[in-house]
């Protein structure tokens, strides 16, 4: 499988439609800003770093139509509004804007396209470093049964990034080194990114894994069957509070109660110095239909949505939650592990290598 986002020899941009996985591998072309915005809002692409990368290309494509200051600001605003919680989107859009703003209007579209490409290459390099640092941290744990047991929530693998993943980067690094490991994969209702995407990509790489219901993690930790919880994240506030897929907070509570280390893997671009704490992070609320219905494959092989609640029952669908910094044992970034605290994060951000 190539990168999650790639351009062909004719400079056309492609990705996988993640709403069709794990049953169908469908490639979609992103030919303009509208395609990129639609891919993000409909979750054909998802995961903080990948959303940022698609947003960056979306801005570059918008500038092919009009590239004056007003058009640039409007396209940035439109793309930034596609999903609210992952800060990588804003970060990526601002990176492209800052690169092209000083240039003559006629030079902006090409420069933005090049910058989006560099941003993707940087994402791949960052995630490889996260894999390296996270792998060392995990190897320092003494696996209770000779096989390192990792529990993860949602999908923070290669499908959520341009390549390697964040939380799964250390898993892939250790697996490639021959370290025996096994991943407990939370199904991650309501959209089942764990069952559909994490399980799919781990299977693709031959990594031993078991899908569990979202409610099983506490029992597994209590029984001593988890050596570490390792998740990705969508935004880290200045004080180290972490927003990630709904249900992450409950895993962190269970981990602390059972003395299981809780690690959060993320590139430095996921740290938002403008958010003082978790309360400042906007939590996306998605359609109740994602709770009232579930998608799967029927016996004829068709993808179908099935209703699972009584007619008329209300449903609420917050897509993310905030784990307080005190429950996070370490952030794993491309610059190395870092405490989830304001002074440690300030030092990390200053260390601009
Ligand atoms: O709603 P999603 O699927 O975009 O949510 C994704 C997550 O919560 C991931 O865990 C997070 O973005 C980290 S991605 C490397």
Residue 105 and residue 55 in one domain: yes
Residue 166 and residue 234 in one domain: yes
Q: Residue 271: phi, psi to the nearest 5? A: -85, 130
pLDDT digits (tens, 9 = 90+) for 146-160: 899 999 999 999 999
Q: Is the CB of 232 under 6 A from ligand 1?
A: yes
d(CA 193, CA 176): 24
Q: What is the DSSP annotation of 55-77?
A: HHHHHHHHHHH--SHHHHHHHHH
Residue 76 and residue 184 in one domain: no
Q: Indicate if the pLDDT at residue 336 is higher than 80.
A: yes
Cβ within 8 Å of residue 84, ≥6 positions away: 282, 283, 284
Nearest CA residue ID for atom 8, ligand 1: 245
Residue 118 and residue 142 in one domain: no
Is the CB of residue 20 less than 8 Å from the CB of residue 26?
Answer: yes
Give the whole-number percent of the chain exceeding pLDDT 70.
99
Q: How many domains does the chain have?
A: 2
Query: What are the E-state strand segments in 34-187?
Result: 148-152, 181-186
Q: Indicate if the pLDDT at residue 10 is higher than 60.
A: yes
d(CA 183, CA 219): 15
Residue 79 and residue 118 in one domain: yes
| Nearest 10 degrees: Cα torsion 142, 146, 151, 152 | 90
For β-strands 27-30 and 271-272, DSSP reports them as unpaired
CATH code of the domain containing 102: 1.20.120.420
Nearest to 134 by CA among 180, 95, 165: 165
What's the pLDDT band for 343 if we cut at 50, 70, 90?
very high
Domain of 99? 5-124
Q: Which residues pair with 230 in a beta bridge?
A: 263
User: What does pTM read for this prediction?
Assistant: 0.97
Residue where a domain terminates, one of 80, 109, 124: 124
Q: Name the residue of 41, 44, 86, 131 whose CB sits within 8 Å of the most ligand 1 atoms, as the mutation to test its pocket.
A: 86
Q: Is the CB of 54 under 6 A from ligand 1?
A: no
pLDDT digits (tens, 9 = 90+) for 184-210: 999 999 999 999 999 999 999 999 999
CATH code of the domain containing 315: 3.40.50.10470
Residue where a domain terminates, one of 72, 107, 124: 124
234 is catalytic: yes
Residue where a domain terminates, one of 61, 93, 124: 124
d(CA 245, CA 47): 10
């Amino acid at each position: 499988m190539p990168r999650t986002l790639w351009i062909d020899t004719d400079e056309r941009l492609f990705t996988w439609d993640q709403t069709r996985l794990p049953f169908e591998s469908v490639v979609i072309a992103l030919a303009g800003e509208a395609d990129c915005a639609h891919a993000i809002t409909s979750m054909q692409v998802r995961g903080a770093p990948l959303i940022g990368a698609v947003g960056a290309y979306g801005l570059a494509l918008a500038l092919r139509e009009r590239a004056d200051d007003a058009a640039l600001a409007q396209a940035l605003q439109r793309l930034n509004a596609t999903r609210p919680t992952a800060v990588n989107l804003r970060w990526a859009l601002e990176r492209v804007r800052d690169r092209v703003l000083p240039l003559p209007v006629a030079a902006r579209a090409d420069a933005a396209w090049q910058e989006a490409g560099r941003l993707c290459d940087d994402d791949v390099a960052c995630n490889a470093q996260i894999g390296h640092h996270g792998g060392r941290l995990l190897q320092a744990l003494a696996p209770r049964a000779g096989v390192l047991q990792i529990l993860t929530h949602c999908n923070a693998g290669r499908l959520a990034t341009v390549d390697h993943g964040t939380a799964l980067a250390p898993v892939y690094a250790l697996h490639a080194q021959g370290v025996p490991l096994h991943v407990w994969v939370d199904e991650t209702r309501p959209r089942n990114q764990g069952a559909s995407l994490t399980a799919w990509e781990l299977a693709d790489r031959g990594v031993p894994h078991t899908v569990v219901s979202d409610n099983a993690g506490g029992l597994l930790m209590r029984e001593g069957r988890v050596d570490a919880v390792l998740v990705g994240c969508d935004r880290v506030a200045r004080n180290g509070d972490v927003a990630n897929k709904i249900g992450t907070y409950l895993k962190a509570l269970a981990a602390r109660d059972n003395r299981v280390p809780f690690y959060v893997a993320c590139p430095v671009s996921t740290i938002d110095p403008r958010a003082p704490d978790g309360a400042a992070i906007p939590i996306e609320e998605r359609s109740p239909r994602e709770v009232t219905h579930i998608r799967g494959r029927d016996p004829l092989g068709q993808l179908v949505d099935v209703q699972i609640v009584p007619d008329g029952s209300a449903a609420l669908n917050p897509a993310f939650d905030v784990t307080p910094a005190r429950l996070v044992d370490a952030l794993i970034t491309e610059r190395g592990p870092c405490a989830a605290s304001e002074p440690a994060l300030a030092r990390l951000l200053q260390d601009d290598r």
